[in-house]
Structure 1
Amino acid sequence: MSTASTTDTAANATAPGKISVWREGPIGWIAIDNPARRNAVGLAMWKALPKAVDQLCAQAETRIIVLRGAGNSIFVAGADISEFETTHREPASARAYEASNTAAFAALRNCPLPTLAMIRGFCLGGGLGLAAACDMRIADSTARFGIPAARLGVGYPPSAIADVTRLIGPSRAKLLYFSARRIAAETALDFGLIDLLAADGALEEETTALAREIATRAPLTIKASKTAIDALTASLAPADLVRCEALANACFDSADFAEGRTAFMEKRDPVFQGR
């Protein structure tokens, strides 16, 4: 049995994106759907993601959730920076925005069901954060990964940084965060950022086959395994987390963040002053 539904999180021209949710037998699907902006995630979409996860988890038939980008070319190009002039104009609104990011990542990270990210094309910034919050990642050769925070002067939630660091280690995580460079799918596989590299033209087929395979396995065994693995890899102490959050929040109070946002909108290289 298959069910289909769409959660439309934005109904006007300034925020056209939505989160689409449907189920095909035991496989629940969540699509980041904003093709006009290369599937960038707007504020309403960030807020809708936890609801989408809950919606699928509430259906007893769902055994696994697959996260993808709408269309056939892009996963997620990151947060919708065109909104930042509004959502990040004041430090308080910027922190509220980041809280919605954190909640979306947490919804995937803490999902009681297995989660799998299907990646093609751009997987950047918040998109990489969403993929890293999933249990597993499969990509094709078109996938490109990067974290542009240092080009924009923004601070990332420490829990999201922890997801990436657990996958690829501190040195490679620093390479991505410090340089803001993009890496190809083959390099991402070598780093451990993705788990499987699908054959050209076979991403959806291989993703569906893997999801169906997992869906046939014992749910209680999977739940116990996921809980144990997550517990063994958690490493953020509360005091460290508070300090990390303070440093990330300070980015949104800075002149550098204003410069990064303005440079992006003006399509020029930013000039940062470290203040």
Structure 2
Amino acid sequence: MTDLSFPPDWAPDTTFADGRIGLTVRDGIAVLAVQIPQKMNALDVHATRGMVEALEAAQDQARVLLFTGTGGKAFISGADIGGFDDDKQQGSSFLERQKILADYPLPTIAVIRGYCIGGGLMTALNCDFRLAGTDATFGIPAAKLGISYGFDGLSRLVQVAGPARTRYLLYTGDRVDAQTALTWGLIEQIHDTGVLWDEAMTLARHIAGNAPLSIRATKETVAQITRDPADRDMQAIVDLSMLCQQSSDFREGRDAFREKRKPAFTGE
């Protein structure tokens, strides 16, 4: 297990898609791992289906989800093009399953080592935060493969990196290193590979210790803000705010503040 991007004691307890996807949930933290190192963790249609199954399994068990890849050489190196040859509809199915990650109710953290290319970069961008090792590289070789990305595929990239940098990545198909990715907003943090996992776990534990309903409300409100005004569900924001105010966690947070102790939130 020494080739994993995380310590052996976090090795997946459950697998999906014939072992392509692994899942471990402990102490409110889920780790979803792409386990196809022989293909640099390139995702085929079966792996993306397994990813969805793992996300669904973790949703009711965890407060935070870490998304990573095994092998130490790639987060996700893109889509396994050969895995889509038999069915032209599978490409759109791949994108639909990516949207499930983008709309996932739990906070998500991508932990990136090595190649984060094409569909891998899109997967990382669909997470809330991206932490990368110094060995990470990022790119979208669409122009070198004769393919294109649609509105949903590029909207998040434009949002975080801007139109000009999106054009650069797509026009040239070149890769950028982790430091450039940090400057461009593709990632939030960069760490030496030896401490990357510890830094990711520290962030995950910090988030998991806060009130789940409050975090859920924040995630949904931010999502609504980034949508076109005509598509926003303002009532959903109001409902989530009321849910927080009426929750036992609100009372626990208030009491803990008064009593100068650490709150114990239950998500209720």
Query: What's the TM-score bracket when you normalise by the shorter of the two chains?
Result: 0.7 to 0.9
Moved over 3 A (4+): 2-5, 235-238
Task: Indicate how the Cα distance of structure 1 residues 81 and 211 shifts in structure 2: closer, same or farther if over 3 A, else same.
Answer: same
Counterpart of 1:83 in 2: which secondary structure?
helix
* Alignment partner, residue 5 of structure 1: 13
CA drift of 1:6 comes to 2.6
CA drift of 1:164 comes to 1.2
Aligned positions of 1:107-118 closer than 5 A: 107-118=100-111
Whether the aligned pair in 2 keeps the contact of 1:102 and 1:157 (CA below 8 Å) is no
Aligned equivalents of 1:138 and 1:194: distance in 2?
Answer: 6
Aligned equivalents of 2:69 and 2:94: distance in 1?
Answer: 17
Whether the aligned pair in 2 keeps the contact of 1:124 and 1:147 (CA below 8 Å) is yes
Task: Indicate how the Cα distance of structure 1 residues 179 and 38 shifts in structure 2: closer, same or farther if over 3 A, else same.
Answer: same
Identity of aligned residues (%): 35
How many residues are paired up? 222
* Alignment partner, residue 210 of structure 1: 203
Whether the aligned pair in 2 keeps the contact of 1:133 and 1:160 (CA below 8 Å) is no
Aligned positions of 1:44-123 closer than 5 A: 44-59=46-61, 62-84=62-84, 86-87=85-86, 93-94=87-88, 96-123=89-116
Task: Indicate how the Cα distance of structure 1 residues 151 and 71 shifts in structure 2: closer, same or farther if over 3 A, else same.
Answer: same
- Output the amino acid matched with 2:105: P
Aligned equivalents of 1:165 and 1:237: distance in 2?
Answer: 20
Aligned equivalents of 1:111 and 1:67: distance in 2?
Answer: 12
Q: Report the more deviating stretch, 189-198 or 71-80.
A: 71-80
Whether the aligned pair in 2 keeps the contact of 1:150 and 1:178 (CA below 8 Å) is yes
Q: Runs of 5+ in structure 1 lacking a partner? A: 11-16, 88-92, 239-275
Aligned equivalents of 1:36 and 1:135: distance in 2?
Answer: 28
Instruction: Decide which structure has the larger Cα Rg and report it.
Output: 2
* Per-residue CA distance 1:71-106 (angstroms, 9 max, x = gap): 22321111112334x33xxxxx32x12222222211
* Alignment partner, residue 28 of structure 1: 30
Q: Runs of 5+ in structure 2 lacking a partner? A: 1-9, 232-268
* Alignment partner, residue 42 of structure 1: 44
Whether the aligned pair in 1 keeps the contact of 2:75 and 2:115 (CA below 8 Å) is yes
